[in-house]
Structure 1
Amino acid sequence: MIQLKKPQEIEKLRKANQIVAQTLDFLEENIKVGMSLKQISQMAEEFILSKGAKPSFKGLYGFSGAICTSLNQICIHGTPNDTLLKEGDILGVDVGTLLDGYYGDAARTLPIGQISSKDAELIACAKDALYHAIDIIREGMHFKELSYALQEFILQRGFVPLRDYCGHGIGKTPHSEPEIPNYLRAGVNAKSGPKIKNGMVFCVEPMVCQKDGTPVHLNGKWDAASKDGLNTAHYEHCLAIVGGRAEILSQS
C-alpha cells in the first residue's frame, strides 16, 4: 500500500531533503581531481552531521559508506574506496539523510574537470529525463505511465535505462512502495496498477546506460554497472504530490 503523507509529514521530509540538496551542492563545489572516493564520503558525512542529520546510507543493508560514490561505469550504489579521481571522470553522488525520523534522498552525476562530449550527453540525458518526468507528473497518472515516459525519453536520446532498479517511495523508511522503474516491462499495460495521488512522496531516479541496460555487479551486491562496460549517469529527486503536481523536496 502506498502511504499518503499529511502536510506536516511532507514538511519534515522537505527538511531532510533540503539537507540532501545542500550536501550535493557542497560536494559539487568542493570535489576535486586527486580526491579519493572515501575522502568524498567522509566530507559528505561531516557536512550532514553538521546540519543535525545522519547519513542514512551508512550501514543500510550493510552498505559501508556514508554516501554512494559511483565512478564512470558504475551507475548506482558505488562503494567509497581509495580510488583517486582523475581529470575526465564522471562521478555519481547519491546522498541520503535521516532527520527527526524522516528520510531524504537525491543524486547527481558530476563532471570531474573536462569530460568527453559523449559523457556530457549522458549526464544531460539523466538530468533532463528527471526534469521531464517532474514536468509531466499529474494526480491520476499511473506510475507505469511515468515509467514508460522515462523509458521513451531515454531511448529518444540514444541511450537505454538500467534495468532491475527503480525509484521508490520514501518517508519514515528509506524505501517503500511504489517501485518506479525507468522502463515499462514488456507486455505490461501502462494504464494499469496504482495511480499517483496527492500526498504521495517518492523518488524518481533515471539511471542511464549507453548500449546495454543489463546490470552487472563489480563488488558483491553493490557497484551496479552496465553489461556494456561503458560510462553511465544517474540523477534523482525526492518529490511530493501537492495540488495535483510534483513538488521537488530535494532542493536547497
Structure 2
Amino acid sequence: MIKIKTREEIELIRESALIVSMTLGEIAKAIKPGISTLELDKIAEEFIRDHGAKPGFLGLYDFPNTLCMSPNEQVVHGIPNKQPLVEGDIISVDCGALKNGFYGDHAYTFAVGEIDIETKKLLEVTKESLYLGIREFKIGNRVGDVGYAIQQFTEKHGYGVVRELVGHGLGREMHEDPEMPNYGRRGKGKKFLEGMVVAIEPMINLGTHRIRQFSDGWTIKTADEKPSAHFEHNVAIVNGKPELLSTFAFINEALGIKTNEEAEFRAL
C-alpha cells in the first residue's frame, strides 16, 4: 500500500536525505587511489552519527556496514573491505540515514582518479537518465512513465537496464510501495499521487542487463563483468510536480563540478 506523506513528514524525510547528501559529500572528498572502502565506511558512519542520525543500512536485513560500496562490475550491495581503490576504478556509494523516524537513501557513482572514456560516458548517461526519470514523477503519470524514460534513453546508448533491482517508496520504512523499475511502458503501473515520496535509482550496465549474486549473499555484479553505474535521488510530489529532497550539491562542491541539473526540481 502506498503511504502518502504530509508536508511535515516530507520535511522530515528531507532532513534525513540531506544528511545522506552531506555524507556523500564527505565521501567525495576522501575518495582517491589507495583508500579502502572500509575506511570510507568508517568516515560515513561517524559523520551520520555526529549529525544526530543513525546509519540507515547498518543492520537493515542484517547488512553489516553503513555504506553499500560497489566497484566496477559490481552493481549494488557491495560490502566494504580493506582492498584499496586504484586509479581507473569506479565506485557506487549507496548510503542511508534514519532520523526522527524517517529514512533518507541515495547513491552516486564516483570515478577514482582518471577513468576511461567509455566508462565516463556510462556514468554521464546514467546520471542524466536519473533526471529524465524524475521529470516523469508527477501528477497524471504512472510508474511505467518513469521506467520508460530511463530505459529508452539508456538503451539508446546500447546499455543494459537491470531488471531485478528497482527503486522504491521511502518514509518510515526504507523500502515502501511502490516499486520503481528502471524499465516499463508509458501509462502502465500505479498512478502517482500528491504526497508520494520515492527513491528513483537507475542501475545501468555497460553491457548486458543480466546480473549475478556473489556467495556473500549481498553483492550483485554484472553477468559479463563489465562496469555498472548507479545514481539515486529521493523525490516527493509537491503541488503536482517532482521536488528533490536529496541533492548532489555537496558532491559537486567537493569535486569542483558546476551544474544546474537540479534547478527545475527545487522548491521555489
User: Deviation at 1:198?
Assistant: 1.0
Does structure 1 residue 71 correspond to structure 2 residue 67?
Answer: no
Residue of 226, 243, 254 corresponding to 1:230: 226
Q: Which moved more, 1:215-224 or 1:148-157?
A: 215-224
Identity %: 39
User: Deviation at 1:234?
Assistant: 0.2
2:143 matched to which residue of 1? 143
Question: Contact 2:30 / 2:40 at 8 angstroms: preserved in 1?
Answer: no
1:249 matched to which residue of 2? 245
- Give, in whole Å, the separation in 2 of the partners of 1:136 and 1:144: 9
What's the CA shift string for 1:163-209, capped at 9, x where partnerless?
2000000100000100011112xxxx542331111100000000010
User: Deviation at 1:235?
Assistant: 0.1
2:104 counterpart SS class = strand
Give the 5 Å matches for 1:41-80. Answer: 41-80=41-80
Question: Contact 2:136 / 2:145 at 8 angstroms: preserved in 1?
Answer: no
1:102 matched to which residue of 2? 102
Q: Which amino acid aligns with 2:106?
A: A
Does structure 1 residue 240 correspond to structure 2 residue 236?
Answer: yes
Q: Which moved more, 1:190-199 or 1:9-18?
A: 190-199
User: Deviation at 1:221?
Assistant: 2.4
Task: Report runs of 4+ in structure 1 exceeding 3 Å deviation.
Answer: none
- Give, in whole Å, the separation in 1 of the partners of 2:217 and 2:187: 33
What is the TM-score of this pair, normalised by structure 1? 0.95
User: Deviation at 1:104?
Assistant: 0.3
- Give, in whole Å, the separation in 1 of the partners of 2:136 and 2:69: 29
1:57 counterpart SS class = coil
Question: Contact 1:125 / 1:208 at 8 angstroms: preserved in 2?
Answer: no
1:180 matched to which residue of 2? 180
2:115 matched to which residue of 1? 115
Q: Which amino acid aligns with 1:205?
A: E
User: Deviation at 1:62?
Assistant: 1.2
Residue of 187, 212, 215 corresponding to 2:208: 212
Residue of 169, 187, 191 corresponding to 1:191: 187
Q: Which amino acid aligns with 1:63?
A: F
Question: Contact 1:16 / 1:103 at 8 angstroms: preserved in 2?
Answer: yes
- Give, in whole Å, the separation in 1 of the partners of 2:136 and 2:181: 16
- Give, in whole Å, the separation in 1 of the partners of 2:130 and 2:201: 7
Question: Contact 2:150 / 2:182 at 8 angstroms: preserved in 1?
Answer: yes
User: Deviation at 1:147?
Assistant: 1.1
- Give, in whole Å, the separation in 2 of the partners of 1:61 and 1:140: 35
2:171 matched to which residue of 1? 171
Aligned length: 248
Question: Contact 1:70 / 1:93 at 8 angstroms: preserved in 2?
Answer: yes
1:222 counterpart SS class = coil
Q: Which moved more, 1:217-226 or 1:157-166?
A: 217-226
What's the CA shift string for 1:132-163, capped at 9, x where partnerless?
11223321201012111111111012211112
- Give, in whole Å, the separation in 2 of the partners of 1:176 and 1:136: 19
1:29 matched to which residue of 2? 29
- Give, in whole Å, the separation in 1 of the partners of 2:215 and 2:39: 19
RMSD: 1.1
Question: Is there any run of 5+ residues in structure 2 with no aligned partner, and where?
Answer: 250-268
What is the TM-score of this pair, normalised by structure 2? 0.90
Q: Which amino acid aligns with 1:204?
A: I
Question: Is there any run of 5+ residues in structure 1 with no aligned partner, and where?
Answer: none
- Give, in whole Å, the separation in 2 of the partners of 1:223 and 1:120: 23
1:230 counterpart SS class = coil
- Give, in whole Å, the separation in 1 of the partners of 2:63 and 2:196: 27
2:39 matched to which residue of 1? 39
